[in-house]
Amino acid sequence: MEDKSDQKDPGKDTMDRKYWNSHLQKMTGYTFGLQPEITADIVKLNSNESPYPPSPEVLEAIRKAAGPALRLYPRAEWDGLRRALSREYSVPEEAIFCSNGSDEFLSLIFRTFAEPGNTACLTNPTYSLYRVLARAQGIQIMDVDCDADFRINFDELLKRQAKITIITNPNTPTGALEAVKKIEEFVKIRKGLVLVDEAYIDFSENPTANSALRLIEKYDNLLVARTFSKSFSLCGIRAGYAFGCPDLISALLTAKDSYNLDTLAQAAAEAAILDINWMRDNAARVVRTREASRKNFLDLGFGALPSQANFLFVSHPKHDAGKLYNRLLEKNIYIRYFPYSPLDRYLRVSIGSDKDMERFFSALQEILSSEATG
């Protein structure tokens, strides 16, 4: 999996790991994007964060919640937030789960619906955190390679048996979107749980039509996950939400920490749903910038997959991706590079503001020219 060289703890190798469990002894944690302090000099396009601020209603809700009532525990089952989600997405409350970021939900599915020795089926490539979380629970991974154009190979997936299969839609780091019809065919036949992770769906052409959400009423083996991090501009509050039949949600409620989502995050997320048009406007802006950026990449001779997410996955036939990554880093421009095959020929660039992208492309052009003449 991902290289940890850029953040390796030099003391780590001297540790004896005597008390670590057998799964953890053999693994390293997830590699998150570098977290530079944000100054005017920095362009941070490495973690698929939104360039736009969260809704003013959200900030106001947090300020209002910052009062004496913080002495009390949060609502254990997120009453207000769950009600708002229920209304917005027309899903009964008992089919909704809320988590401390999608991360907690993803960790929970391996702890709730699988046990050590079970198998999880993942597409390759996909979000690398799944693998880390599964391995931490002693769960075997079965990778199914995507097609040459990074489409998910559902036929191959069906040939493998697994307790849990994860489909990321749109996928990361590619931005490729699969038709919901294909997903339904898969869920229908599949024995075992299917999670469709829709972290980026709000950046797709028609989120409602593209989502697997409506399928949860028909299939008892389907979970659909969303997050407030990306389209709602709320990475900082750690709030995720998910949909599934009440039997699945009830299992997650049994397994979760009692008060998994704090009072401030619940207030913020509820306000974000009540002001959902703020999110939609921002997502639309990101989409416009994404399409303009894709054109810029193509003009510069890059290959750039069509993307339905808030990032682009690009490669240049004549320039080494790792080198470009490092040259950009020298110029305080942070993007993402995955130093393992087959992703090491590509760069993942989150879509920033138009100004961020201008700075990015001007730096990139400079680097390409200097390499061409150098």
**Binding to a second copy in span 240-259, by CB under 8 A:** 246-248, 250-251, 253-259
Q: How far is the CB of 322 from a second copy (least distance, A)?
A: 23
Binding mask 142-171 for a second copy (x = CB under 8 A): ------------------------------
Yes or no: say if 249 and 314 are a contact pair by the CB < 8 Å rule. Answer: no
Query: What residues numbered 82-141 form the site for a second copy, per CB under 8 A?
Result: 94, 100-101, 103-104, 107, 111-116, 129, 136-138
3-class secondary structure, 196: strand
Yes or no: say if 337 and 344 are a contact pair by the CB < 8 Å rule. Answer: yes
Q: Which is nearer to a second copy, 28 or 119 (CB)?
A: 28
Q: How far is the CB of 50 from a second copy (least distance, A)?
A: 5
Q: How far is the CB of 355 from a second copy (least distance, A)?
A: 14
Q: Which is nearer to a second copy, 310 or 315 (CB)?
A: 310
Binding mask 331-350 for a second copy (x = CB under 8 A): --------------------
Of 63, 87, 160, 218, the residue at the interface with a second copy (CB under 8 A) is 63
Query: What residues numbered 6-25 form the site for a second copy, per CB under 8 A?
Result: 9, 11-12, 15-24
Q: Is 3 in the site for a second copy (CB under 8 A)?
A: no
Instruction: Calculate the alpha carbon distances from 27 to 139, 234, 349 in Å.
Output: 12, 30, 27
Query: What residues numbered 168-207 form the site for a second copy, per CB under 8 A?
Result: 193
Q: Is 68 in the site for a second copy (CB under 8 A)?
A: yes
C-alpha–C-alpha distance, residues 257 and 76, integer Å: 9
Query: What residues numbered 309-328 form the site for a second copy, per CB under 8 A?
Result: none
In this chain, which stretch among 26-34, 179-187, 199-207, 310-318 interacts with a second copy, using CB under 8 A? 26-34
Query: What residues numbered 261-290 form the site for a second copy, per CB under 8 A?
Result: 261-265, 268
Q: Is 81 in the site for a second copy (CB under 8 A)?
A: no
Q: Is 297 in the site for a second copy (CB under 8 A)?
A: no
Q: Is 234 in the site for a second copy (CB under 8 A)?
A: yes
Closest CA to 58 of 370, 295, 273: 273
Q: Is 47 in the site for a second copy (CB under 8 A)?
A: yes
Q: How far is the CB of 169 from a second copy (least distance, A)?
A: 20
Q: Is 39 in the site for a second copy (CB under 8 A)?
A: no
The DSSP element (H or E) to which 319 belongs, if any, is: none
